[in-house]
Amino acid sequence: MTRTMLAVMLSVSAMTSPAFAQQLGQAVRQDLPELMALYRDLHQHPELSMQEMRSAGLLAAEARELGFDVTAGVGGTGVVAVLRNGSGPTLLLRADMDALPVEEQTGLPFASRARGTSLAGVESGIMHACGHDTHMAAWVGAARRLVAMRDQWSGTLVMIAQPGEEIGRGAVAMLDDGLYIRFPKPTHAIAFHDSASLPAGMIGYSVGPALANVDSVDLAVRGVGGHGAYPHTTRDPIVLASRIVTTLQTLVSRELNPLDSAVVTVGSFQGGTKHNIISDEARLQLTVRSYTPEIRRQLLDGIARIARGEAIAAGIPDERMPVVTVREAEFTPATVNTDALTQSTAARFRQHFGEARVRQVPPVMAGEDFSRYHLADPAIESLIFWVGGVPQARWDEADGDPARLPSLHSPFWAPEADTVIATATEAMVVAALGVLGRN
């Protein structure tokens, strides 16, 4: 055995040993009061998508103080913090910053009472109902640890705070603003998301697809309006739209291979103004989800075909055929965890946290624009993992049944923040050392 091989073995085992786990755990516990203060501050002051000025300022200041080279205002409110620490891979660690137009009902002492107006002009309460406040606190926690442990790794760390995840716009905005040109281009990208379907402190990961393709589709179903008492002189768009909604249910159930996964949900159905008027238009809004480009295409083509076919069956004139609009600008592509990084990081998590706290989980139909960082260059290894946030007592009480627990985006979602932040900070450090560790 050569000296180098011996050194490699020693350093790998040192970074995954029980002593290392204990030291890291202890260091994170010492940071936790400050990270929790930051979390509560962020939670109390949530900001809507692409308006994350205050949050970005707090994160930029933290990173600057730690010695990162910090650039603010990337892709709107995005922050890029770079730490060059010798030769080696370049690792991107991402936290998203935006909150949701949800009125908080958790009853927490530091619950948000903030209100604001979205880019779409809708005024509402604002809440960190997706837990991005825990992401930001753990981002700071991981930055602190990685700076403190800089003698144990080599390479470049690019920590980014991303705006606008909830509207699928922030990652693209940062990439379009030169994320991979003005700053070191990553070889690896890692993020985590808090989970409302795992007990607090558990880590979940998926191999391959982790989150779905998400499309928003508008359907303008046009008819010929008239008096409610004379339906024979009209073409009723509400009856037609109802048929379309019903036929759409067969897209997934009858047209897709049962072993493929997809969702077609009609989330909004609007039409008409009054009891006795047959309107001339009804409007449907759909969310369409899948994991592959092929299934996505099949669903979108199917929606257009069904809308047109039902309109023909209803005798709608050619010039009044339904108008189907796929909102391409809002499309979020599927998030795929690449194999090598996922398997090696999962193995490190198991060594660090123990088998009982790490489990492989199935993919979910939610979307994440974290996918963009890998899609911008498929050579980049990519992983997003889950950190459970449901307090164990709540989990046991509900028997782990997600239908009996608040989901992400619920006004009642209150993760066990100290456990999430401590676990996620440790996990991000362990994952980062897996990529950058001196071995």
Residues contributing to the site for Zn ion (CB under 5 A)? 130
Smallest separation, CB 132 to Zn ion (Å): 6
Smallest separation, CB 183 to Zn ion (Å): 23
- Residue number with the shortest CB distance to Zn ion? 130
CB atoms closer than 10 angstroms to residue 157: 26
Smallest separation, CB 366 to Zn ion (Å): 7
Q: CB-based contacts of 98: which residues, under 8 Å, 6+ apart? A: 47, 48, 49, 50, 51, 52, 132, 163, 164, 165, 166, 167, 170
* DSSP codes of every residue in 372-399: HHHHT-TTSEEEEEEEEEE-HHHHHHTT
The tally of CA atoms less than 13 A away on the side-chain side of residue 62 is 25
Q: Which residue, 128 or 352, has its beta carbon nearer to Zn ion? A: 128
Q: Which residue, 56 or 311, has its beta carbon nearer to Zn ion? A: 56
Beta bridge pairs of residue 284 = 219, 269
Q: Which residue, 52 or 310, has its beta carbon nearer to Zn ion? A: 52
Q: CB-based contacts of 317: which residues, under 8 Å, 6+ apart? A: 224, 235
Smallest separation, CB 191 to Zn ion (Å): 10
Q: Which residue, 130 or 252, has its beta carbon nearer to Zn ion? A: 130
Q: Which residue, 132 or 235, has its beta carbon nearer to Zn ion? A: 132
Smallest separation, CB 368 to Zn ion (Å): 7
Q: Which residue, 92 or 136, has its beta carbon nearer to Zn ion? A: 136
Task: Give me the amino acid identity at 58.
Answer: L
Q: Which residue, 31 or 165, has its beta carbon nearer to Zn ion? A: 165
Smallest separation, CB 407 to Zn ion (Å): 10
Q: Do 398 and 92 touch, CB atoms closer than 8 A?
A: no
Nearest to 260 by CA among 287, 300, 294: 294
* Structure token digits, residue 291: 């994991």
Smallest separation, CB 12 to Zn ion (Å): 33
* Structure token digits, residue 108: 């927490």
Q: What is the dihedral of CA 58, 60, 65, 67, to 10 degrees?
A: 160
Q: Which residue, 165 or 310, has its beta carbon nearer to Zn ion? A: 165
Nearest to 65 by CA among 74, 73, 57: 57
Smallest separation, CB 399 to Zn ion (Å): 25
Task: Give me the amino acid identity at 225.
Answer: G
